[in-house]
Structures are given as structure tokens and as C-alpha cells.
Amino acid sequence: MIINRKQLMRDKLQQIIAGYSAYTETKEVAIMLKKELKLRNIDVYVDDTDKGFWFIPVKEKAQA
């Protein structure tokens, strides 16, 4: 089965936009996702582990 890395990145991006965390095993997809998130000015925390990359959306803090 051939996996389209760009489509995989787009799916992960939609997850993040919806407010969910996204995980990818490959560095290639992680790099593409980081670039796209930067272009869209979407703030995420990236947890780079030895097993893969977690992209966790940063939630806005409520102002008091």
C-alpha cells in the first residue's frame, strides 16, 4: 500500500485545527506539518520522542 505523505500531513493538520493532538512516526511528515503550522500561525507544542512526534495544540489562556 502506498501512503501519500502530503495527504497524511493534511489529515494531521485538520486534527490539530479541530483542537486534537496529532501523532506521526516519520520525520518527513513532521517537517511538512511544522512548516504548514508555521505558515498558518498555529501554535502547537511538539514532543519529539524516539518513537515519533506528538503535535499538541496550545490552548489560549482565558484572561481574568
**pTM (predicted TM-score):** 0.84
The type of residue at 53 is F
Tell me the pLDDT tens digit for each residue of 3-59: 799 999 999 999 999 999 999 999 999 999 999 999 999 999 999 999 999 999 998
Q: What element of type H or E holds 13?
A: helix 5-17
